[in-house]
Amino acid sequence: MSSIYDTLNDMQKEAVFHTEGPLLILAGAGSGKTRVLTHRVAYLIEEKGVQPWNIMAITFTNKAAGEMKERVQNLVGFGSDQIWVSTFHSSCVRILRRYIDRLGYENHFTIYDTDDQKSLMKDVFKRLNVDTKVYKERNILAQISKAKNDFISPEQYAIDNQGDFSKKKVIECYKLYQEQLKNNNALDFDDLLVKTVELFENNKDVLEYYRERFKYIMVDEYQDTNTVQFKFISMLAKEHRNLCVVGDDDQSIYKFRGANIKNILNFESVFTDAHVIKLEQNYRSTQNILNAANEMIKNNTERKSKTLWTDRGDGEKITFKMVDFAQQEAEYVAESIKKYVENGKTFKECACLYRTNAQSRLLEEALMRKNIPYKIVGGINFYQRKEIKDILAYLKTVNNGVDDLAVRRIINVPKRGIGAASIDKIQEYADSRGISFYDAARDEKCLEYIGRSSAKVKSFVDLIQVLRTKNEFINVRELIDEITDVTGYVRELEAENTDESKERIANIEELLTKAVDYQLKAEKPSLNGFLEEVALVADIDSLDPESDYVVLMTVHSSKGLEFPNVYLCGMEDGLFPSYMSISSDDPLDIEEERRLCYVAITRAMDNLHISCAKQRMVRGEIQYGKMSRFLKEIPLELLDTGMKKAEPTEKRRVTRPTQASSARQIINSKAFEPRQFKVTKLTGLEYGEGDRVKHIKFGEGTVVSVAEGGRDFEVTVNFDKVGVKKMFASFAKLKKI
């Protein structure tokens, strides 16, 4: 036997050498699963005499497929190019290109991307007279995608949801959407799998051909498969039953994309003669980090028992940092990274992980202030995100209107029916007279030149003029609120009700937080000053991918990666785990969040830093929260809180507390309990209904009403200059006159 297998540990060897029958390899984080798969392919060819074209290996990304091909080629050499190594979707395209005519399509079918799908759904909406104020294309498409992932046809979907009025439009749209796809000889990405399974179900000769070809099938990241992917694989493997699936149920974090964790949990129920091998030796992390991950994840009920271990030694304890404010957390991370590099390390060894993209803003600014290079992976710079650029473009237009790019960006955002032709005419008029785009849009002669769209352009100009007037009396945060309200920007995102739209709303809320933070710190806050500060932060030179930089990313984006020095930020209930999972009726939603936290912890190789804040600003308002429940599941003896041990004195003997007891004091302290927002009682206010009061910005006014809200007293005042305003008493700081 070749010596290439000598480098494998005992369990890896067992997984490589077990070639016949169903095999489930439970591969813990950092346990070398790709190494096992590639060596297994080599073993099948070199030692078992299996022909390369009889082997199929399925991965989830083209990058992973490419890496596997390269590693197999290095091991096998000649003939490795005949092994079928590809993603699920690529495999299905190859099959459908050959046989889709059996389903009534032409073989040169088109594959629709996301934009194509939205365009087609818009056409469906028009044909069905769907009210776009009530229904959004993205929301309907998301529901259709979920149905396809569960292998539910339009006809079956109609049967399953008959009598459900809320699904009536979805049923109609799904049916017509599929009809239009077929009329256009097109498939969307979900169809690639669905149609392949339909092909197998209705054409036994095709299924038999591929069953005979793929005598040995291997599937990577099996915990991320959905129902239709499971059906595709199980149909192919039914004849020879040499199906090897590799995955880790503890790293199943894509439920929102349709992943069905039951596929891996119930594998032995479907394949009753399946052999199970656990890869528990970790080659990535220190034992302290693994112990933290092990102890936390064992609180999940939906999992297969496994315990990660390593021979790398215990390593450093996990640094735990609690701060008062989220800004301090970002400063702590930046300062820690700076010291890390000063000790001879590199920036590229460091990664900052967080639950939501909106959390990156404070980290970005803290790193900028310390001249630390960084790169956002799986996302874009906070100030470069579409929704943030849109709102900033409105602010720039309100500020002076000289920025033609800003005005052009938002003149039809949200859509007002001002097309590209009209925008080009305005620009032509402006260029011919040497004036700004906005000034041209205000010109009556320009409006005559535009023609039919003139009324819509005038409506936009009137909107900006109203906002300019209000800007004289309201602060930046209120101006942003006004913009998102009168334009309907946020309402459109709320109506979409997708993961993407919710993320975009969270980013806008983070911009509100930035505005409040600016107002509190600036000596003379103004719109111009805010835009100047944002411009300095946002004006970042593009970073060379080969350069030395800190990586910022969500935990979802970090899956499959590893870093020597990891910072896990924002570990508070409501953020991680999310409020949605905490308030969900399904207890398994919390388990998905715990798996996500497990993924975050196991990205760290040598050093793991976990931090949380007693309070952070969300949607421009301060929120108090308690430490993440996941933190409390980590054994105290694994944590380094940074607390110094007490030293004995001559007067009395003092017992030195251990690190574990120091950690216990902090974690069990009341500092981690949610604090109540305390306000002065109504009887303590110096004003009441009908009283005249003065506001530092709005001037004088009359109190219309005082009502007790959930956390504060809501005061409604009719100001002499700016009209009626509703505000919280503690923030308003009204003075009776």
* Beta-carbon count within 10 A of 259 CB: 21
Strands 723-728 and 713-719: antiparallel
Give catalytic status of residue 220 as yes or no. Answer: yes
Catalytic residue of the set 69, 136, 348, 603: 603
Q: Which of 12, 33, 223, 365 is catalytic?
A: 33
Contact 311, 336 (CB under 8 A): no
Q: Check if 592 is active-site.
A: no
> Of these residues, 143, 196, 251, 513, which one is catalytic?
251
Give the distance from CA 242 to its chain's centroid: 36
Instruction: Give 567's strand partners.
Output: 352, 609
* Residue 33 among the catalytic residues: yes
Would you state the structure tokens that stand for residue 584, as one six-digit string? 């969900």
Euclidean distance between CA atoms 417 and 424, whole angstroms: 14
Catalytic residue among 14, 19, 34, 456: 34
Q: Are 574 and 373 in contact (CB under 8 A)?
A: no
- 379 and 349 in contact (C-beta within 8 Å)? no
Question: Among 137, 190, 191, 220, which one carries the catalytic annotation?
Answer: 220
Please, what is the Cα angle at 493 between 437 and 114, to 5 degrees? 90
Residue of 137, 188, 191, 221 with catalytic role: 221
CB-based contacts of 262, cutoff 8 Å, min separation 6: none
Alpha carbons 459 and 219: distance in angstroms, whole number:
57
Q: Is 115 a catalytic residue?
A: no
Check if 301 is active-site: no
Burial grade of 583 (CB within 10 A; 0-12, 13-18, 19 or more)? exposed
Output phi, psi for 679, to 5 deg: -130, 165
Phi, then psi, of 245 in degrees rounded to 5 = -115, 140
Q: Establish whether 539 is a catalytic residue.
A: no
Cβ atoms of 41 and 293 closer than 8 Å:
no
Identify the helix (H) or strand (E) that includes residue 24: strand 23-27
* Beta carbons within 10 angstroms of residue 294's beta carbon: 22
**Token pair listed for 634:** 């980590």
Q: Which residues are catalytic?
A: 33-34, 220-221, 251, 603
